[in-house]
Amino acid sequence: MQQTLEVQTLMNEPLPMSKKRGWFQFHLSTAIVVVLMAGGLMGANLLPQSVLEYQGCLSDGGAYDILGFGWPAYYLYTFGEEKTSTLRVEHWSYLALAIDLAILLILLAGTCFVWEWQVARRKRIKVMQTEKG
What integer is the mean pLDDT of 90-102?
94
Residue 130: Cβ-neighbour burial (10 angstroms; 0-12, 13-18, 19+): exposed
Whether residue 62 contacts residue 81, with contact meaning beta carbons closer than 8 Å, is answered with yes
Lowest average pLDDT, out of 2-11, 45-54, 84-93, 95-104, goes to 2-11
Identify which of 46, 32, 23 has the alpha carbon closest to the alpha carbon of residue 104. 46
Handedness of CA 26, 32, 33, 35 (dihedral sign): positive
84 located within any domain: yes
Please report whether residue 96 resides in a domain: yes
Q: Is the pLDDT of residue 92 over 80?
A: yes
pLDDT score for 88: 76
* 131 part of a folded domain: no
Given a cut of 70, is residue 132 above it in pLDDT?
Answer: yes
> Region 26-43: what's the mean pLDDT?
93
Domain count, the chain: 1
**Distance (Å, rounded) from C-alpha 110 to C-alpha 34?**
10
Global pTM reads 0.68
